[in-house]
Amino acid sequence: MSTLLNLSGKIDPQTVVIFETVGRVIAELGVPYVVVGATARDLVLHLGHGAKLRSVTKDVDFAIEVPSWRAFNSVKDKLCEEGFSATKIQHRLLSPEKMEVDIVPFGKLEDGEASIAWPPKGDVVMNVLGFQETCNNAEWVRIQESPELGIPVATPAGMMLLKLVAWMDRAREERGKDAQDIAYLLVSYEEIPAVHDALYENKQIMEMYEWDQTLGASHLLGEHASSIVGEDTSALISQLAAGELGERNIERLIDEMCTRRVKPEYERNRQLLSAFLAGFGL
């Protein structure tokens, strides 16, 4: 896991304490974890590379690879000993400062369709497809110099996989934020210097998109997502591209990516998503 960014001094102290405490408790269990969600988005793209802040993040999201529900509950119990408090939502805790902290388990407790069924009754089911490859390919972000503290954070490629899966998984009235986050990732990826450099080192992509850097970066994001994607996640995204998921189709996704519902915005989102899928190999 390589160092991606140094954000020391850019993160508010309360959030740094959350990262330190949760990371330490998980490390005691000896299992991998990754920071995901809007937290990862803001760390990497906004604080790390100056992309426009999409919205104020009010919670911190972790995904943790655990061998059993017993191990997951052990993490929750130890965090409660550190001053966190449980809520009615099983994957959500409140920090001592009352910030929401979501910890989603994945790994051996998944069923054959990459879903987890929350005990005791198993009536609440959550899709965790994409978390494994996102965790496996996380990059290290330094959030504090003294004492030195780093955390594993989802890359934009991992974020894109998780957002696509979430959009396909959620009910229509709940997935608008996922579509908006997909649009944000597509327009913001060019802000990363390494992406900019790669585009001008490989001019074939830029020529393909008539030197439109944002489209070129979207294509590159597709390539990077394809390089880390797992077989099941790839198959699901392929079904989306092929129009095999009913009303969850590319046209619907493009429409929900729009904020103003005007034709130029729809057309631009279509170009961005098409460039991503081309880079992904679809």
DSSP letter at 99 equals -
Phi, psi of 218 (to 5 degrees): -65, -40
Q: If the chain, 282 residues long, is cut into consecutive pieces of 10 residues, what is the mean pLDDT of each piece?
A: 78 95 95 96 94 82 97 96 96 96 96 93 93 96 94 97 97 93 97 94 94 98 98 98 96 94 91 98 98
Q: Cα–Cα distance between 90 and 81 in angstroms, integer?
A: 17
- Catalogue the long-range contacts made by 135-139 (C-beta closer than 8 Å, 24 or more residues apart): 135/32, 135/33, 135/34, 135/63, 135/65, 135/106, 136/32, 136/228, 137/228, 138/1, 138/34, 138/35, 139/1, 139/2, 139/3, 139/4
Q: Which amino acid is at 202?
A: N
277 in helix, strand or coil? helix
pLDDT of residue 3: 52
pLDDT of residue 260: 83
pLDDT of residue 207: 96
**In angstroms, how far is CA 281 from the centroid of its own chain?**
21
Q: Cα–Cα distance between 88 and 91 in angstroms, integer?
A: 9
* Domains of the chain (ranges, CATH numbers): 3-154 (3.30.460), 160-280 (no CATH)
DSSP letter at 53 equals P
pLDDT of residue 66: 97
Phi, psi of 184 (to 5 degrees): -60, -45
pLDDT of residue 54: 75
Q: Which of 245, 241, 270 is nearest to 256 (CA)?
A: 270
170 in helix, strand or coil? coil
Q: Cα–Cα distance between 237 and 168 in angstroms, integer?
A: 9
Report the greatest alpha carbon distance in the chain.
Answer: 57
